[in-house]
Amino acid sequence: MIELPFPAKILWPNGRGHHMAKHREAKKHKAWAYAAMLADLRGAKHDGSPVTLRATFHPKTANAVDKDNASASLKAYQDGIAQALGMDDSAFGQPIVHIAEPRKGGAVIIEVEAI
C-alpha cells in the first residue's frame, strides 16, 4: 500500500492546460509512484502474476469527485507502479476506485493486489 499526493488538476480528463505543463506533471507523478512502490516492495520481485489496483481518493474538499475521472487521473501513477514492478501497464485492468472522506491537502492510497 502506498500513499501519494492527490493528482494535479491538469491530469484529470477535464483539466485544461498546455500539453507541456501536463507532461511535466505526469512525469513528476510517475516518479513519485515509482519511488513509493520501490520502497513498498523492499527488494521483493514481482512474480509476473496479473495485478489490480485499488485506489482510495481522499479529496481536498467535500466537493463530489467523479469515479470515472478519478480513475483516468491515475494514469501517471499506474505508469510509475508498473515500472517499479517491471511490468507493462497494459497488464492492469480498470482500477477499483473508492472515494473517502476529505483530507487536508488530499491524497490517494493505492493498493496493488494479485488477482
Q: Write the CATH number for 25.
A: 3.30.1330.70
The DSSP string of 77-104 is HHHHHHHHHTS-GGG--SPEEEE----T
Task: Name the CA radius of gyration of the chain, rounded.
Answer: 14
Q: pLDDT under 50 in the chain at which residues?
A: none
The pLDDT value given to residue 115: 56
The pLDDT value given to residue 71: 94
The pLDDT value given to residue 64: 80
Range of the domain at 95: 2-114
Rounded to an integer, what distance in angstroms lies between the CA atom of residue 98 and that of residue 77?
16
Of the candidates 102, 82, 83, 77, the one whose C-alpha atom is nearest the C-alpha of residue 92 is 82
Domains contained in the chain, number: 1
User: How confident is the model over 84-94, as pLDDT tens digits?
Assistant: 998 888 888 88
3-state secondary structure of 74: coil
Q: How many CB atoms lie within 10 A of CB 70?
A: 21
Rounded to an integer, what distance in angstroms lies between the CA atom of residue 6 and that of residue 107?
4
3-state secondary structure of 52: strand
Q: Are 74 and 57 in contact (CB under 8 A)?
A: no
